[in-house]
Amino acid sequence: MSQFLIPDLKEEMVLTERFITEYLAPVSLNQTVDHIFSHVLSARGKRLRPQLLLLAGRYGKYYHEKRECLCRLGALVELVHLASLIHDDIVDDSPLRRGRPTVQAHFGKDMAVYAGDLVLSRAMQILFSEKFYEAGKWFGITIEKMCTGEIGQYARKFQPETGIEDYRRNIYGKTAALFELACRLGASEAGCDREMSAFLESIGRNFGMLFQMRDDLLDYLSVEEKEGKPTGRDFEEGILTLPVLYALEAPDYADEIRTLIRLAKEGDFHGEERKRLSALIRESGGMKKALRDYRELSHELARQVGHLPAQKETKMFAAILEKLAVPI
Amino acid sequence: MSQFLIPDLKEEMVLTERFITEYLAPVSLNQTVDHIFSHVLSARGKRLRPQLLLLAGRYGKYYHEKRECLCRLGALVELVHLASLIHDDIVDDSPLRRGRPTVQAHFGKDMAVYAGDLVLSRAMQILFSEKFYEAGKWFGITIEKMCTGEIGQYARKFQPETGIEDYRRNIYGKTAALFELACRLGASEAGCDREMSAFLESIGRNFGMLFQMRDDLLDYLSVEEKEGKPTGRDFEEGILTLPVLYALEAPDYADEIRTLIRLAKEGDFHGEERKRLSALIRESGGMKKALRDYRELSHELARQVGHLPAQKETKMFAAILEKLAVPI
């Protein structure tokens, strides 16, 4: 997953990257603000969202005329993503992201609050100055969804009563909503008709859901000895994801998992508890059910992609989907 | 200052309040998000910025036709103000605001990050859905200025090398820029010509500067015994305002003030140090110079207000200015 670039989109991604750099250009008289912008710019991500936006755009009849616009919109989607990462890293207390210190680790949590706002205000300025009025409305709605998802997740921390539906609603907000927006913007800007736009939007949403579910599953599937990453880091933070939520539904296992949740809340979740949790998730059938859900969604998405017109982008969508397979 | 309402604006302010309530209406399925919106709504502020916007609008020829628009813009300016308060309270670790728990105290710092984003995303949504495109561009620019001012202030914490110009630049961003925007929007939306708009904008900016300078002066002028508020709370937080910056320019006092800054940074700033700082600020002439600057700006503003057309709103501007006098 480290290099996600779709070769066919290379030219557009060069342009998109140029817009991201332009939009985050330091122009202020304030040195610290300039440093923040440079720091945000130097963190090279996969740029997955702009690439999905461009792929969706390829199904529209005006793709070529609208290429520059689409790259600008892709850059804006990435800006909103970057702003959200800055704020998420405050909440998660993350020291690193993609191997580099996060804004909160480098500049402090307080600065990171304003740094996120700053990046968001840049996105807002460009939306108005480039007259992306229809898109802007959807950006606003999506940012609200993203906040709602994060707040929903936070409010459910350490709560064994969290339902599968809560989980789905929260990952839709925190992750899938922006994927959905990317595909919506790409399709509608490039002139897809309403039906096709809605279909691509739904594909974007499902990609986002799958992407987050994969991330959540990997937290329990990473092999500590091999990868040096302990499992259950989400659990330690109180974030209960699909395997745990399903395990909690198994009467013979719920009590012990509740105990582990309490220990995690009290900061007493260590090697022994970590191992026990992994065992409980497997024995209870929680992991199996979570993987089943993941595969079902993956198949549903493959089916949707299969219904797209036969053109090379459809193969690219399928290729991304393959990369998203959980490695077990 | 507790009740700032200009009686003549009552009708408009009722409408503005209705829009604020409408814009922050909880519509989500997420209970916590609904609670956050209710909490933000129930904190009744002075609504000073929407009132300045309306006053500026009164100088335009289309005030009556544009009344509803102006109230909507006033509500949006207030939303941006409320969002900034939520984020400022995280950074300042404030337990209370206007006698009520802050969002960060009530819901925790992490939630407050998203709560501020949520309020901002509402403002963004309304700007697009109400087609306030020209205003929206200026909102974006102003939010960047606000962040830049806050970051600038934060970067200068505990730094005796902070210059008077740094101070001015930072309070312009953190406070005056939004006052300036309020007057700009009021004037231009109501149809003032370019010259008049620029003049009202400059009045707004000066009001904002004066407002912040007043706040900063009061931090050293409050009488502890009488008001129960210790002086030098900004200093304790590392925020060096005008009286301290001028005191640092006095060669005989700089060293001792630097020592106090170091103590404050180390958390050793208590009753004794507080008293000593007050004394140093007075003896060094720092307070005198800060008050001189304050009075000069106040006179400049009075002079500007005096040049406004002879209509009742000009008297109202003058009345607000009088209320802003520092009580010594």
Output the tens digit of pLDDT for each of chain B's 328 residues: 444 568 899 999 999 999 999 999 988 678 899 999 999 998 878 899 999 999 999 999 999 999 999 999 999 999 999 999 999 988 888 888 888 888 888 888 889 999 999 999 999 999 999 999 999 999 999 999 999 999 999 999 999 999 999 999 999 999 999 999 999 999 999 999 999 999 999 999 999 999 999 999 999 987 654 555 678 889 999 999 999 999 999 999 999 999 999 999 999 999 999 999 999 999 999 999 999 999 999 999 999 999 999 999 999 999 999 988 776 6
Are B185 and B53 contacting, i.e. CB atoms less than 8 angstroms apart? Answer: yes
Count residue pairs from A and B with Cβ separation < 8 A: 148
* A-contacting residues in B 61-120 (Cβ below 8 Å): 87, 90-91, 109-111, 113-118, 120
Are B88 and B215 contacting, i.e. CB atoms less than 8 angstroms apart? Answer: no
pLDDT at A305: 97
Name the token pair of B227.
């008001």
Q: Which of A7, A60, A104 is nearest to A195 (CA)?
A: A60
Query: Going by DSSP bridges, is the β-strand pair A100-101/A96-97 parallel, antiparallel, or unpaired?
Result: antiparallel
Q: Are B151 and A122 a contacting pair at CB < 8 A?
A: no
pLDDT at A327: 64
State how far residue A276 is from chain B, nearest Cα, in angstroms.
29
pLDDT at A227: 56
Residue A156 CA to residue A21 CA, distance in Å, equals 37
The predicted model gives A203-223 an average pLDDT of 93
Are B272 and B304 contacting, i.e. CB atoms less than 8 angstroms apart? Answer: no
Query: Going by DSSP bridges, is the β-strand pair B96-97/A100-101 parallel, antiparallel, or unpaired?
Result: unpaired
Asked whether the predicted pLDDT for residue A151 surpasses 90, the reply is: yes
Residues in A touching B152 (Cβ below 8 Å): 30, 32-33
Asked whether the predicted pLDDT for residue A226 surpasses 90, the reply is: no
DSSP helix, strand, coil percent of chain A (3-state; round to 5) = 75, 0, 25
The predicted model gives A98-120 an average pLDDT of 90
pLDDT in tens, A20-35: 999 999 886 788 999 9
Q: If you classify domain B7-323 with CATH, what class do you get?
A: mainly alpha
Name the token pair of A235.
């659990």
Residue A10 CA to residue A54 CA, distance in Å, equals 11
Q: Between B29, B128, B152, which is nearest A133 by CB?
A: B128
The predicted model gives A256-272 an average pLDDT of 95
Helix axes B48-57, B177-189, angle to 10 degrees: 30
State how far residue A164 is from chain B, nearest Cα, in angstroms.
15
Asked whether the predicted pLDDT for residue A157 surpasses 90, the reply is: yes
Burial of A237 (0-12, 13-18, 19+ CB in 10 A): middle
What does R_g of chain A's alpha carbons equal in angstroms?
A: 20
Within A58-193, residue ranges assigned H as helices are: 67-92, 103-107, 109-129, 133-155, 164-171, 177-189
Query: Which of B23, B84, B128 to mutate to probe the A interface, most A CBs <10 Å?
Result: B128
Q: Which helix (H) or strand (E) holds A172?
A: none
Residues in A touching B154 (Cβ below 8 Å): 32, 110-111, 114
pLDDT in tens, A95-108: 888 888 888 888 88
SS3 B66: coil
Are A96 and A105 contacting, i.e. CB atoms less than 8 angstroms apart? Answer: yes
For A272-293, b/e burial (b = at least 16 CB within 10 A) is ebbebbbebbeebbbbebbbeb
For B292-328, b/e burial (b = at least 16 CB within 10 A) is ebbeebbeebeebbeebeeeebbebbeebbeebebee
Nearest chain A residue to B107 by CA distance is: A155
pLDDT at A228: 57
How crowded is the C-beta side of B274, counted as CA atoms within 13 Å? 18
**Partner B contacted by A23 (CB < 8 A):** no
The more confident residue out of A192 and B322 is: A192
The predicted model gives A309-328 an average pLDDT of 88
SS3 A96: strand
Q: Are A140 and B131 a contacting pair at CB < 8 A?
A: no
Residues in A touching B151 (Cβ below 8 Å): 30, 32-33, 36, 111, 114-115, 118
SS3 A101: strand
Q: What ranges do the domains of chain A cover?
A: 8-323
The predicted model gives A155-165 an average pLDDT of 95
**Percent of chain A whose pLDDT exceeds 70:** 95
pLDDT at A224: 53
**Partner B contacted by A150 (CB < 8 A):** yes
Residue B176's CB is within 10 A of a number of other CB atoms, namely: 24
pLDDT at B85: 95
The predicted model gives A214-235 an average pLDDT of 79
Nearest chain A residue to B136 by CA distance is: A128
Residue B241 CA to residue B246 CA, distance in Å, equals 9
Nearest chain A residue to B125 by CA distance is: A140
Q: Which of A113-122, A295-304, B2-11, B317-326 has the lowest mean pLDDT?
A: B2-11
pLDDT at B1: 40
Residues in A touching B31 (Cβ below 8 Å): 155
Give the CATH number of domain A8-323; options: 1.10.600.10, 1.10.8.60, 3.90.45.10, 1.20.1300.10: 1.10.600.10
Helix axes B67-92, B10-23, angle to 10 degrees: 60
For A114-153, b/e burial (b = at least 16 CB within 10 A) is bbbbbbbbbbbbbbbebebeebbbbbbbbbbbbbbbbbbb
pLDDT at A1: 40
Q: Are A150 and B114 a contacting pair at CB < 8 A?
A: yes
Q: Are A124 and B131 a contacting pair at CB < 8 A?
A: no
How does residue A4 score in pLDDT terms, banded at 50, 70 and 90?
low
Residue B270 CA to residue B278 CA, distance in Å, equals 12
Nearest chain A residue to B90 by CA distance is: A110
Q: Between A114, A120, A147, which is nearest B114 by CB?
A: A147
